[in-house]
Structure 1
Amino acid sequence: MTSSPDLAERLMSAVQGVRRVVRRRVRAEVPGPPLPGAQVELLRVVERLPGIGVAAAARELGLAGNSVSTLVNLLVEAGLLRREVDPADRRAAQLDVTEAARERMAIWRKARTGLVTTALARLSEEDTTVITAALPALERLMDVLKEEG
């Protein structure tokens, strides 16, 4: 079976729809003002790669450096990100999440996982088996898309 524009459109619609619904429902359970998706993505990258620099974070996210700098400034101001001078290159910064960000992200993860787990439990065993079987292919698709970007 070859891929088609219809398959691509249905896939993107489904993925975006799931993300939108989960984000909206979880937002109510996470304390503090809601964060835009780009800020959450940056926090997730920095949490995964503590000490990462702005340029490396931009590459990881596929964003322009100045866009990530703006996100960093907003998150530092909100007390969710810490920016320190890189001892190896005093012109560069190293990023790390704050304890407040760790706590907020843990609450967010727990709420998101709980919501999706509950929803998956309402599906048939056949549906959950199909979703599970599709995950490796979706992860490979993500890798291919990253390579092409």
Structure 2
Amino acid sequence: METPAPRTDSTSHVPVEAELSSLLGPLRRAVLRRTRAAEGLPDLPEAQIELLRLLVARGGLPPSRAAAELNVAQSTISNLLRAMTAEKLVDRLPTPGDGRGAMLVASARARVLLDRYDRASAAMLREALAGLPPTDRRAVEYAVPALRRLLAALSG
């Protein structure tokens, strides 16, 4: 059986997967840069933001579990934690019932920063989307569920 040719969008001859791949990083960085500027947020690296989001979502994790869930080396987590602890973004608590291990939790300061980031990025995206033609706004809206499923497929 022959493999079908990659799909392309209607405006170029570049495969959709190549277009999507080339847009993801710049789109993420543009949202982050504009949000930081609008809210006067600290220049947190994306890796720190990702770790904070994980800690908030899970209510805390041991460092080894955080490394596994983010698919990074334990040394990467150690380096992130060193910087984030100094910035008072992460608290290390004794592991419940054991006391020998550490449980990482996002600090109150980190939760406030994430909330500010989320509100500012939503407002900025709402404004940017409002400036698009209605057909583009609808296309982005319709793409969100498919992008969510794509993320799940890539994460699984």
TM-score range, shorter chain: 0.7 to 0.9
Q: Which range moves more in the overlay, 28-37 or 104-113? A: 28-37
After TM superposition, the score normalised by the length of structure 1 is 0.88
Equivalent position to 1:106, from 95, 99, 115: 115
Partner of 1:79: 88
Mapped partners of 2:67, 2:19: distance in 1? 29
Mapped partners of 2:39, 2:100: distance in 1? 35
Contiguous gaps of at least 5 residues in structure 1: none
Mapped partners of 2:63, 2:41: distance in 1? 25
Mapped partners of 2:39, 2:82: distance in 1? 22
Percent pairwise identity: 33
Contiguous gaps of at least 5 residues in structure 2: 8-13
Q: Which range moves more in the overlay, 113-122 or 128-137? A: 128-137
Partner of 1:137: 146
Structure 1 residue ranges, 4+ long, deviating more than 4 angstroms after superposition: none
Mapped partners of 2:128, 2:63: distance in 1? 37
Amino acid at match of 1:133: Y
Partner of 1:88: 97
Aligned residues between the structures: 147
Q: Which has the higher contact order (CA 8 A, sep 6+)?
A: 1
- Tell me the secondary structure at the aligned position of residue 15 of structure 2: helix
Larger radius of gyration: 2
